[in-house]
Amino acid sequence: MFFNIILISGCGDALSTSTKDNSANITKSLLTGTWTAKCSDNTTASTSSKTVLVFSDSGDNLTATTTNFSDLSCVTQSFNFTKKLNNLNLNNIKTTTTQNQIIYKFTASITDISIEPKTSFASSSFNGSNYCEFSSWNSGSEKSVAGLTCNSNTHKSVNDDYFDIVQMDSEKTFIRLGNINNTARTGYPKTLYTLEYYK
């Protein structure tokens, strides 16, 4: 089994380059709540995933959970990948990405990063490859992987700074987050994922 885990799986960066200001002014209160992406399939691997973002009532915490599935329709769960952030600080100044998409920047601190196998097959696969340096994975039991290297991908450690960008459409129906695999020297993503999250 091949595991490719990222915080927020996206569908690329092919967004419009229009500079028209059709995005909403974003505040923590607007972000508060649960935002869910549609099922994203990976036809090459015959798998799929769905990510849920939960911004706390205080606006200071964000939990992002990507559930990975062993089918193309987000039906049979395989494992969860969860990233928890606190001390979220939303910059109140609009700026633009290299795609001319209007966004806001935010920073936060890593509280934890964890993985939870949802089936015995997933836990056995993890154990067989000493995934994230562990050989004691169990279905239904999560392990912290903060600061560890998993499949040549080294995760941030607890208390590390986290940089991201967010866009909200003018009707305030969905948000997009940044491509954390395409960052500037400042640490912020340069582009947005096309993946949309709805309340």
**Torsion from C-alpha of 54, 51, 12, 83, nearest 10 degrees:** 60
Low-confidence ranges of the chain (pLDDT < 50): 1-12, 19
The two tokens of residue 27 are 């505040």
The reported pLDDT for the residue numbered 16 is 56
Based on its alpha-carbon atoms, the radius of gyration of the chain, rounded to whole angstroms, reads 17
The reported pLDDT for the residue numbered 20 is 55
Helix (H) or strand (E) holding 109: strand 102-117
**What distance in Å separates the CA atoms of residue 101 and residue 189, rounded to the nearest whole number?**
12
Prediction pTM value:
0.89
DSSP 73: S
- DSSP string of 28-41? HHHH-EEEEEPPEE
